[in-house]
Amino acid sequence: MSQAPGAQPNAPSVYHERQRLELCAVHALNNVLQQQLFSQEAADEICKRPLSQLALPQVLGLILNLPSPMSLGLLSLPLRRRHWVALRQVDGVYYNLDSKLRAPEVLGDEDGVRAFLAAALAQGLCEVLLVVTKEVEEKGCWLQTD
């Protein structure tokens, strides 16, 4: 029996999904878990469901990676790049701190930031990172359990 170059004798079977479309997050989850547990639809549902369960007072801020249209002067190009945007609560008010804005944009209370997040997620191809303290991360209290 011949082995592939670099293969080790009696090597364990390793689950590995290859890239398809732009589903790298799904592939990464399944590869880490070593089985096909997540589909695109399941991952999308998970992203939408915790939105209402986020314990926003426990979250220092949010960082979004969004598609951003490109332009050349007044001419809009049919290309999209990725752009990182920060959201943060200051003195009880949530703000969009997008570096492309002239000034912070008021989002309002928790309902306002949830509406902003829902709109961003509805556009598709949006990633949301939560910024929390180590204590909040360790306790997992960034999600409401009720």
Give pLDDT, residue 91.
92
Q: What pTM was computed for the model?
A: 0.65
Count of alpha carbons within 13 angstroms of residue 90, beta-carbon side? 10
Q: Of how many residues is the chain composed?
A: 146
Contact 120, 126 (CB under 8 A): yes
Take residue 89 and report the two structure tokens written for it: 């609560």
**Residue range 76-113, pLDDT digits in tens:** 666 667 788 999 999 999 999 998 889 999 999 999 99
Active-site positions read 24, 83
Indicate if the pLDDT at residue 48 is higher than 60: yes
Q: φ, ψ for residue 4 (rounded to 5)?
A: -65, 150
Domains belonging to the chain, first-starting first, are 39-139 (3.30.1490)
